[in-house]
Amino acid sequence: MAQKPSIPKGTRDFSQQEMAERNYIFDTIRSVFRKFGYSQIETPAMENLSTLLGKYGDEGDKLLFRILNSGDAFANVDMDKPLAPQVCEKGLRYDLTVPFARYVVQHQNEISFPFKRFQIQPVWRADRPQKGRYREFYQCDVDVIGSRSQLCELELVQIADEVFNKLGINVIIKINNRKVLSGLAEVCGAPDKIIDITVAIDKLDKIGLDAVKAELKEKGLGDHAIAILEPVLCLQGSNEERLQAMRTILAGSESGQKGLDELEQLLGYIAAAGIGNRVELDLSLARGLNYYTGAIFEIKAADYSIGSISGGGRYDNLTGIFGLPDMSGVGISFGADRIYDVLKALDKFPQSLGSSTTLLFANMGQAECAYILPVSIALREKGLSVEIYPDSSKLKKQFDYADRKHIPFLSICGQSEIDSATIQIKDLQSGEQRSFGKDELQEMLDFVCRIS
């Protein structure tokens, strides 16, 4: 008996309806990216492991999908040497930012800086599948590299604000600065534990304060250091009040004060730009990726609990590890799959996405098909989505097909329409039916578009 087909856990098939909804997300995001002057590139699904390893921290490295060199990768293995480097030299990309940095270095002589690019492609992580977390998912990244101006950070906040306004999702835009976190590590007396601190506090929303404190203690932080961190993680008040409180806490850290200066400038830009969604200074925000060096962002849906749906930050040293130093960049990534889940849960997808076809011509026979064929071609040339039912079946079957596909308009043309050189079009929702001359294409379009 044949085994029932299946797909790997953490991956999904997408139906016609789901693809229409996903493309609605991609098209909305893409239109906003282009509006702000960003151009699209693509990079390969796989990268050399030398490109990927060491860029995401120890936890990120564990989530890389490694690819065997070939189907017989183990044929000539030397068992006296480490196995992995011999059989596996490539991996599926973990995100789009590191491949982007590699792209910039490799193509630096072809690029005009500041370089503004976006990518909409899938990424892979060997993570435990759960609600809102997949092993294969799409990211929609937008970055500008070659400028340290915080106007670039502002632009990313503006992009996020406009994308989510267009999608109809109320969001909270959370902001912090990696220099502030470094300063906290300094005043705690543990500057060498900045990675341990950021990895732990980045889990605050998921595991709670007590669990974060326990993890910090496990990583070697003493009670005094944790006592300094705890009030920061619980800080309340307006953005201005939080900044003022942090000025006192980080009084002894030059790095921390610089981070606060950057946050103050960015928040001033945001206020001047009139951002509509809520912007919140969150001192517990860490974004556990090692390459961030300045501003960090995380965006959450205000009306649906699913974790972050967008995030990013400033990185000063990413291209340096590939041989191009002093090239600062900043970017933000939109998690299309989580955005999809939010839109679905909140019923925010437009109803018009239900069908890829606007008008279905019924098939009444060979002569009738010959009559409607040039009309269908002419309407398609004017941009209308048109189908002709392929088989000369009973009308009920053709009506059922239109209903299942949510096609809003149906045209039934028989011998009487051929004799009178007319086209009948019926709105299947309202029942309204109109007759048009065979050449009255614009009138047909006006009828369909006015009602649809």
pLDDT at 289 over 80: no
Residue 369 lies in a domain: yes
Structural contact between residues 250 and 232, judged by C-beta atoms closer than 8 angstroms: no
pLDDT at 339 over 80: yes
Confidence of residue 1 (pLDDT cuts 50, 70, 90): low
Give residue-wise pLDDT tens across range 209-225: 888 888 888 888 888 88
Residue 382 lies in a domain: yes
Residue 441 lies in a domain: yes
Work out the average pLDDT over 82-100: 84
pLDDT at 207 over 90: no
> Domains in the chain: how many in total?
1
Residue 383 lies in a domain: yes
Residue 415 lies in a domain: yes
Q: What is the CATH number of the domain that holds 429?
A: 3.40.50.800
Residue 318 lies in a domain: no
Confidence of residue 382 (pLDDT cuts 50, 70, 90): very high
User: So what's the pLDDT on residue 58?
Assistant: 81
Domain of 436, in residue numbers = 356-451
Structural contact between residues 434 and 425, judged by C-beta atoms closer than 8 angstroms: yes
Of 91-95, 283-287, 299-303, 438-442, give the lowest mean pLDDT range: 283-287
Considering the entire predicted model, what is its pTM?
Answer: 0.82
Q: What percentage of the chain exceeds 90 in pLDDT? A: 64
pLDDT at 436 over 90: yes
Structure tokens at 289: 């990726």
Give which of 123, 94, 145 is closest to 313, Cα–Cα.
145
User: So what's the pLDDT on residue 81?
Assistant: 66
Instruction: Please measure the distance between the N-terminal and C-terminal CA atoms of the chain and give it in whole angstroms.
Output: 49
User: So what's the pLDDT on residue 451?
Assistant: 53
Confidence of residue 290 (pLDDT cuts 50, 70, 90): low
Confidence of residue 284 (pLDDT cuts 50, 70, 90): confident
Mean pLDDT of the chain: 90
Give residue-wise pLDDT tens across range 12-69: 999 988 999 999 999 999 999 999 999 999 999 999 999 999 888 788 889 999 988 8
pLDDT at 71 over 80: no
- Rounding to the nearest 10 degrees, give the CA dihedral for residues 312, 318, 324, 328: 40
Give residue-wise pLDDT tens across range 75-89: 676 666 666 666 788
Confidence of residue 73 (pLDDT cuts 50, 70, 90): low
More confident residue, 62 or 290: 62
Give residue-wise pLDDT tens across range 257-276: 999 999 999 999 999 999 99
User: So what's the pLDDT on residue 413?
Assistant: 96
Give which of 382, 365, 379 is closest to 418, Cα–Cα.
365
Ramachandran assignment for 427, one of left (phi > 0), alpha (psi -120 to 50 degrees), beta (any other): beta
Encode the chain in three state secondary structure.
CCCCCCCCCCCCCCCHHHHHHHHHHHHHHHHHHHHCCCEECCCCCEEEHHHHCCCCHHHHHHCCCEECCCCCCCCCCCCCCCHHHHHCCEEECCCCHHHHHHHHHHCHHHCCCCEEEEEEEEEECCCCCECCECCEEEEEEEEEECCCCCHHHHHHHHHHHHHHHHHCCCEEEEEEEHHHHHHHHHHCCCHHHHHHHHHHHCCHHHHCHHHHHHHHHHCCCCHHHHHHHHHHHCCCCCHHHHHHHHHHHCCCCHHHHHHHHHHHHHHHHHHHHCCCCEEEECCCCCCCCCCCCCEEEEEEECCCCCCEEEEEEEECCCHHHHCCCCCCEEEEEEEHHHHHHHHHHCCCCCHHHHCCCCEEECCCCHHHHHHHHHHHHHHHHCCCCEEECCCCCCHHHHHHHHHHCCCCEEECCCHHHHHHCEEEEEECCCCCEEEEECCCHHHHHHHHHHHC
pLDDT at 452 over 60: no
* Sheet strand arrangement including 39-40: 39-40, 115-124, 136-145, 329-335, 308-315, 295-301, 171-177, 278-281
Residue 420 lies in a domain: yes
Whole-angstrom Cα distance, residue 60 to residue 433?
60
pLDDT at 313 over 80: yes
Residue 321 lies in a domain: no
User: So what's the pLDDT on residue 381?
Assistant: 95
Q: Sign of the C-alpha dihedral, residues 29, 34, 38, 44?
A: positive
Write the CB contacts of 322 (distance below 8 Å, at least 6 apart in sequence). 51, 101, 102, 105, 106
Q: What percentage of the chain exceeds 70 in pLDDT? A: 95
